[in-house]
Amino acid sequence: MDFSEAENKRRVSEILALLKKRYPDARVLLDYNSPFELLIATILAAQCTDERVNQVTPSLFSKFGDPAKMSEASAQEIEEIIRPTGFFKAKTKSLLGTSEALTAKFKGQVPETMEELITLPGVGRKTANVVLGNCFNKPAIMVDTHVKRVSTRLGFTDKKDPDKIEFDLKEIIPEKDHTLYSRIVTFHGRYTCIARKPKCSECVVESLCPFPEKNL
């Protein structure tokens, strides 16, 4: 079912209100104490669960808790710690490259703009948006697998590429609600609108959803 932009904007308003009430505590589930820690944790979360990342990062940050310290670590030291997150060699390269760039170009501080963040090794728009929305209170749509799936089922996008989905969502979601949308839709995707067998009979936005394969 195709909706006009005006219809989608109306549905967005209703869906946001319902999901905000359903998930009042929605937040990023990665553990962090600084923008640097969230940046690194988000890089590690690629193709890995947040729970697994949270098991690894305490040890990582206790040894290399800022860009300067991490940039001086050896690849072997990093690999040994982050191995459980998968793709650890590529992720180690990104962690070291990002830490070195933060130290050399940004005086050890995580930048607060999309344009600067995506210059860091291993940092794309999704990772940058996680940091911007959760650390710097910038409007940011974070397109993870849950946001991609739920937004598609709700009829807000038909794109496959996360960056294109982000721009579709920006057209219909008020800027002030970008980060809120990402948080509550991620929770909805985790706990109700799950991948294989969505719990449509328990869904608070079921009446607003055009998904043809509902489980009622």
pLDDT in tens, 77-119: 999 999 999 999 999 999 999 999 999 999 999 999 999 999 9
Final residue before a domain boundary, out of 114, 135, 156? 135
pLDDT in tens, 24-64: 999 999 999 999 999 999 999 999 999 999 999 999 999 99
| Residue 213 belongs to a domain | no
Which one is catalytic: 20, 25, 69, 126?
126
Q: Domains in the chain: how many in total?
A: 2
Q: Are 51 and 87 part of one and the same domain?
A: yes
Q: Are 56 and 114 part of one and the same domain?
A: yes
| Residue 179 belongs to a domain | yes
Do residues 22 and 176 make contact, with C-beta atoms less than 8 angstroms apart? no
| Residue 215 belongs to a domain | no
Q: Residue 97 gets which letter from DSSP?
A: H
Tell me whether residue 177 is one of the annotated catalytic residues.
Answer: no
Tell me whether residue 31 is one of the annotated catalytic residues.
Answer: no
pLDDT of residue 216: 83
Q: Are 62 and 127 part of one and the same domain?
A: yes
pLDDT of residue 1: 63
Residues 6+ apart with CB under 8 A from 118: 124, 125, 128
Cα separation, 6 vs 193, whole angstroms = 24
For residue 128, the SS3 value is: helix
Q: Are 17 and 80 part of one and the same domain?
A: no
CATH code of residue 167: 1.10.1670.10
User: Does residue 189 surpass a pLDDT of 80?
Assistant: yes
Q: What distance, in Å, lies between the first and last C-alpha atoms of the chain?
A: 19
| Residue 214 belongs to a domain | no
Final residue before a domain boundary, out of 135, 162, 197? 135
pLDDT of residue 5: 82
The pTM of the full predicted model, rounded to 2 decimals, is: 0.94
Residue 164, domain extent: 5-26+141-208
Q: Are 111 and 43 part of one and the same domain?
A: yes
Residue 7 Rama label (left phi>0; alpha psi -120 to 50; beta): alpha
pLDDT of residue 132: 98
pLDDT in tens, 141-187: 999 999 999 999 999 999 999 999 999 999 999 999 999 999 999 99
Cα separation, 146 vs 64, whole angstroms = 30
**How many CA atoms lie within 13 Å of 53's alpha carbon, on the beta-carbon side?**
21
Q: Are 53 and 98 part of one and the same domain?
A: yes
Do residues 177 and 185 make contact, with C-beta atoms less than 8 angstroms apart? no
For residues 4 and 209, the model is more confident at: 209
Which one is catalytic: 144, 161, 163, 176?
144
